[in-house]
Amino acid sequence: MARPPQKPGEPRRPRAATGSKRPFNSRSGKPEDRSGGEKGRYGNDKGRSGGDKIRSCGDKIRPGKDDARGNAPRKPRTARPAAAPPTPRDPSLPEREGERIAKLLARAGVASRREAERMIAEGRVKLDDEPITAPSTVLKDLRGVTVDGKPVKAPEETRLFVFHKPAGLLTAERDPAGRPTIYNALRNALPAGTGRVMPIGRLDLNTEGLLLLTNDGEFKRQLELPANGVPRTYRARAFGDITQAQLEDLIDGIEIDGIHYGKIDANMERRTGRNQWIEMTLTEGKNREVRRVLEHLGLKVSRLLRISYGPFVLGDLPKGTVGEVSQRDLDNFRRSLGKGKGE
């Protein structure tokens, strides 16, 4: 039935509901297109269970503006006090020649710096058959150094690999319980002749996606240090009730059980009933950080995958396979980290 004409000066009447309830995209402020058939921003959907397709769902909400669902503007971030400047070097001290033994071993790909320090404490590292007792021992090079009685080779050129880790693999060299590790899959995935590689960061047993591998323990440490601010992006499928406003509050960090988690950029990608895909970018990478934060918000995570680490993306790399980053791209990235960070 037609409505009577509106009188001059009368407040505008709201439109009647049409009855159509298309799924709403909280990121773009538009109804979600669920027509299907679109290829995801992060590659195809091969190997994904349940027919779920991971798609981009519009633009992110701009900070400081209300979204179409009426969420309040993002809270202004409080400025944190600047870090104290480093203590200047005493000019009266002689210049140090060489590097610490733990750092040299890490650079040579023997182990990470922390693992190298443990090897030294166990008496496994020797110089001319004499045990090295302190990880702070400074050497010019690794000539005469042995680990478990084997001479340490000169460092090779730094290499970086991208591995698509499937769920169900431990990010460890071995497991006392006999569960499969990433190295079981890497035996046949790495190029022939590749030496020892180490994972940069970790992924939980049931977390899948991008895992970076390198032969350079010092480079590994640079990428893992929160001080260097290398972003990691994850996508989580979670069950429960959550709003975009709650996710945006994570930009200021959150404390859970006495543990502080820093800035997290989180956005709702799409929702079906009480299931939703959430994208989260962080720089700390604390143990089980994404799962703990989402569980704290009342969500149950059913699937979690990492899609990028710094500028390196998972793309269409099939599960269980490895791709190598070109030397040019690797060099450009290392320069972007800056000299002296994390040292």
- The structural domains of the chain, with segments of one domain joined by +, span 99-151, 158-228+318-343, 231-309
pLDDT the model gives residue 94: 54
101: pLDDT strictly greater than 90: no
Mean pLDDT (the chain) is 78
Taking only the tens place, the pLDDT of each residue in 251-288 is 999 999 999 999 999 999 988 888 999 999 999 888 89
CATH class of 158-228+318-343: alpha beta
Identical fold, 99-151 and 231-309: no
3-state secondary structure the chain: CCCCCCCCCCCCCCCCCCCCCCCEECCCCEECCCCCCCCECCECCCCCHHHCCCCCCCCCCCCCCCCCCCCCCCCCCCCCCCCCCCCCCCCCCCCCCCEEHHHHHHHCCCCCHHHHHHHHHCCCEEECCEECCCCCCEECCCCCEEECCEECCCCCCCCEEEEEECCCCECCCCCCCCCCEHHHHHHHHCCCCCCCCEEECCCCCCCEEEEEEECCHHHHHHHHCHHHCCCEEEEEEEECCCCHHHHHHHHHCEEECCEEECCEEEEEEEEECCEEEEEEEECCCCCCHHHHHHHHCCCEEEEEEEEEECCEECCCCCCCCEEECCHHHHHHHHHHHCCCCCC
338: pLDDT strictly greater than 90: no
pLDDT the model gives residue 82: 54
pLDDT the model gives residue 8: 57
pLDDT the model gives residue 111: 78
Averaged over 5-23, what is the pLDDT?
Answer: 49
Taking only the tens place, the pLDDT of each residue in 154-180 is 778 899 999 999 999 999 988 888 899
pLDDT the model gives residue 154: 74
pLDDT the model gives residue 98: 79
Poorest-pLDDT segment among 136-140, 258-262, 330-334: 136-140
Q: Which of 52, 204, 249, 252 is catalytic?
A: 204
pLDDT the model gives residue 57: 32
pLDDT the model gives residue 90: 54
Confidence of residue 95 (pLDDT cuts 50, 70, 90): low
13: pLDDT strictly greater than 60: no
148: pLDDT strictly greater than 80: yes
Choice between 196 and 31, residue whose per-residue pLDDT is larger: 196
pLDDT the model gives residue 80: 52
- Is 204 assigned a catalytic role? yes
Q: Which CATH architecture has domain 231-309?
A: 2-Layer Sandwich (3.30)
Averaged over 199-204, what is the pLDDT?
Answer: 93
CATH number for the domain running over 99-151: 3.10.290.10
250: pLDDT strictly greater than 80: yes
Choice between 245 and 74, residue whose per-residue pLDDT is larger: 245
